[in-house]
Chains A and B, each alone.
Chain A
Amino acid sequence: MNGTPRQKLLWLILITVIVAIPFVTGSYVVGVMCFVAIFGGLALGMGLLLEQAGMFSLAHPTWFGLGGYVSGILAVRGIAPPWLGSIFGAVFVGLISYIIGAPLLRLKGYYLACATFGLLLIVEVALGQLGPLTGGNEGLMGIPPLSFGTFALETDVHYYYLSWVLCLGCLRFLYNLMDSRMGRAIKSFNDSEVAARSMGINVPRYKLKVFILTAVMASMIGSVYTFYLRFMQPSIFGFPLLVELVTMIIIGGGKTLYGPLLGAFVVMWLREAIHLTLGGLLPRMSAQVDALFFGIIIIVILIFMPGGLSGWIDGFLYFGRKVFGRTDG
């Protein structure tokens, strides 16, 4: 799947467009697209976990936040420069997801969802309570920007490119992974755990590996986000972020790997559209109000188009191939 000329062409087009955007549009678009990369990257990992691996973990925003907080705290206190702090954050998150993952991933379906949801809320509350360390509910402020040696990333454009490198890097990594032995193993235990185990696949161990992998990805994205905003707050990675990610996955369609990224694009711009048109009418706009609209979208899509946009696209392409006789039967 990776090597076909059509795939390579699509990647080339995508990369060209991404590189070109700051040159042809203004800082507003760059800013929004930067968020598309960041939250899209998050959604990619969560989409893999949910759809490909069948693991209903709602704790993704937590890894995002923890990664951000660890690197942010280390940077604010001058203990470690941002890039090193990000690595520490990833290690920290990797460790925690390993410790928590082993017992938690034995839970099935909705029980895992409930438990990880509980984890999400616990961490959010706990971070708010640890005032001296984390800045409490008001948040961690005065975080320095990301820098490599003497080059500091200061502008939107810098972070735009960094985020997209990270996001597309993750996408590429995940495509490679799913196309390989590991990917087959993941899809197989999602289809039939019994058969997978009988073929020599250590299912609990592989589930843990996928869990940790996506958590670490989320953590690195979280660190980039923290240094972009120069600010971190518990409410950023709570329930509204979860709803947003789920919306992206559902809109974009989880059956494909790129679906959630497409969903992120749609959701971010939809949010802008809503703010621009309705912002004047409604007394207040906030993450909670966004969640309202996303909630409606989730319900509509789950009922009328459960495969999401990418499901629709793939079905459309398949139909097209059938009509033009390029596929059997």
Chain B
Amino acid sequence: MDDILLHVRGLSKHFGGIKAVDEVTCAIKNRSIISMIGPNGAGKSTFINVVSGIYSPDVGRVYFQGEEITGVRAHEIAAKGIGRTFQLEELFGSLSVLENVMVGCHTRSRSDVLACGFSLPSARSEERRVRDEAMECLKEVGLEQRAHDSISRLPLGERKLVGVARALGMKPRLLMLDEPAGGRAAHEVERLVRLIYTLRDRGITLFIVEHNMPFVMSLSERVIVLDEGRKIAEGTPDEVRASEEVIKAYLGEEV
């Protein structure tokens, strides 16, 4: 039986006079691959930011696994099992690749200031476990040989993969990827596609915001189209491709 993992109802978010997200409603089924597309400035990144708790919505509600998470703060939402990546990677420059992923595992350990400062046995064993878990995540994206490198030496494609590994660290149920294929060569995109299928098969639901059309259309089960904050179409890739509104939004008034 398909269950709804994420349910967004009437979500709106404005900044000043601009409605970045305007009454968007959608439901994302468990273990599916959903994409969100739209012209630049359509509100896709804002949508992710609201769902992941960086912003709280002005209007509307968000439900995750049946539980309402509207307005819940980002770090709590992460603990509930929603992971994400960033369009601009937002990796931690003062940490190595492995350490970045270990931060992703933050919610899976509990050692506090005193335990860490006094290097208590509990803290140390947790540290070993987290390190192993992080290595697993790196292996998942195929970057385990880069574990001890510093972020600055990685090319763009690998940096994006580190972002994915980091999000995987929290063992998310829902993984939201913000432009994961941006600016990457064909073979890297292929690697990414294989990775996404692997993750889906392991039970993770994927929500992908992307510009790269072939990538989106070949991969997704369903596509949501945003324009100027509003949802203008939703359906299978074929349905969306044929939709008049979508064509208008991307190409202007007359085709």
B104 / chain A contacts, CB cutoff of 8 Å: 199
Choose among B93, B106, B166 the residue that contacts A201 (Cβ–Cβ < 8 A): B106
Nearest A residue (CB) for B86: A195
Q: Are B119 and A209 within 8 A (Cβ)?
A: no
Q: Does A243 contact B (CB under 8 A)?
A: no
Does B5 count as interface, using CB distance less than 8 angstroms? no
Interface footprint category on A:
20 to 34
Which residues of B91-123 are within 8 A (CB) of A? 91-95, 99, 102-104, 106-107, 109, 111-113, 116-119, 123
Q: Which residues of A contact B90 (CB under 8 A)?
A: 192, 194-195
Residue from A176, A198, A203 within 8 A of B116 (CB atoms)? A176
User: Are A191 and B116 closer than 8 Å at their CB atoms?
Assistant: no
Binds A, one of B71-79, B135-143, B195-203, B204-212: B71-79
Contact A184 B103 (CB under 8 A): yes
Residue count of chain B within 8 Å CB distance of chain A: 41
- In the assembled complex, A163 has its CB within 8 A of some CB on chain B: no
A191 to B103: give the CA distance in the assembly, Å: 12
State whether the Cβ of B54 lies closer than 8 Å to any Cβ in chain A: yes
Is chain A's binding surface mostly helix, strand, loop or mixed?
Answer: helix
Q: Contact at A201–B113, with CB atoms within 8 Å?
A: no
Q: A180-B111, A180-B127, A191-B94 are in contact. Are A197 and B75 (CB under 8 A)?
A: yes
The complex places the Cα of A203 from the Cα of B74 at a distance, in Å, of 10
Number of residue pairs across A and B with beta carbons under 8 Å? 106
- B84 part of interface (Cβ distance < 8 Å): yes
B11 surroundings in chain A (CB, below 8 A): none
Interchain CB contact under 8 A, B92 and A192 = yes
Interchain CA distance A195-B159 in the complex, whole Å: 14
Question: CA of A183 to CA of B167 in the docked complex: distance in angstroms?
Answer: 19
Q: Which residues of B contact A188 (CB under 8 A)?
A: 92, 95, 103
B94 close to A177 (CB less than 8 A): no
Q: Which residue of A lies closest to B126 (CB)?
A: A181
Shortest CB-to-CB span from B227 to chain A, Å, is: 26
Partner of B102, one of A174, A184, A195, A213: A184
Query: Quick check: is A329 within 8 A (CB to CB) of the other chain?
Result: yes
Does B12 reach chain A (CB closer than 8 Å)? no
- CB of B112 within 8 A of CB of A182, answer yes
Most A Cβ at <10 Å: residue of B78, B112, B149, B167: B78
Contact partners of B92 in chain A: CB under 8 A:
184, 187-188, 191-192, 195-196
Tell whether B246 is near chain A: CB-to-CB under 8 Å: no
C-alpha spacing A209/B114, complex, angstroms: 10
A225 to chain B, nearest CB (A): 22
Residues of B within 8 A of A195 (CB): 86, 90-92
Q: How far is the CB of B77 from chain A (nearest CB, A)?
A: 8
Residue B130 is within 8 A (CB to CB) of chain A in the complex: yes
Docked pose: A328 CA to B146 CA in angstroms:
12
B116 touches A177 (CB 8 A): yes
Are A196 and B103 in contact (CB-based, < 8 A)? Answer: yes
> Is residue B174 within 8 Å, beta carbon to beta carbon, of the partner chain?
no
Q: How far is the CA of A122 from the CA of B102 in the complex (A)?
A: 42
| Chain B 38-77 residues near chain A, CB threshold 8 A | 52-54, 73-75
Say if the beta carbon of B170 comes within 8 Å of chain A: yes
Q: Are A202 and B75 in touch, CB under 8 angstroms?
A: yes
Q: When chains A and B are docked, how far (Å) is the Cα of A298 from the Cα of B95? A: 28
Which residues from B are CB-within-8-Å of A185? 103, 106
A-side contacts of B187, CB under 8 Å: none
Contact assessment for A199 and B106 in the assembled complex, using a CB-CB cutoff below 8 Å: yes
Taking A177-B117, A200-B170 as contacts, is the C-beta distance between A187 and B112 under 8 angstroms? no
Do A184 and B123 touch (CB < 8 A)? no
Q: A187-B92, A187-B94, A187-B95 are in contact. Are A173 and B103 (CB under 8 A)?
A: no
A137 in contact (CB, < 8 A): no
**Chain A residues near B109 (CB-CB < 8 A):** 181
Contacts of B113 in A (CB 8 A): 177, 182, 209, 213
Most buried by B among A176, A177, A194, A198: A198
- Are A200 and B78 CB-contacts (below 8 A) given A181-B127, A190-B94, A191-B93? yes
Q: Which 4 A-B pairs have the closest CB atoms?
A: A180-B116, A200-B107, A200-B78, A195-B90
Residues of B within 8 A of A (CB): 52-54, 73-75, 78-79, 83-84, 86, 90-95, 99, 102-104, 106-107, 109, 111-113, 116-119, 123, 126-127, 130, 149, 153, 166-167, 169-170
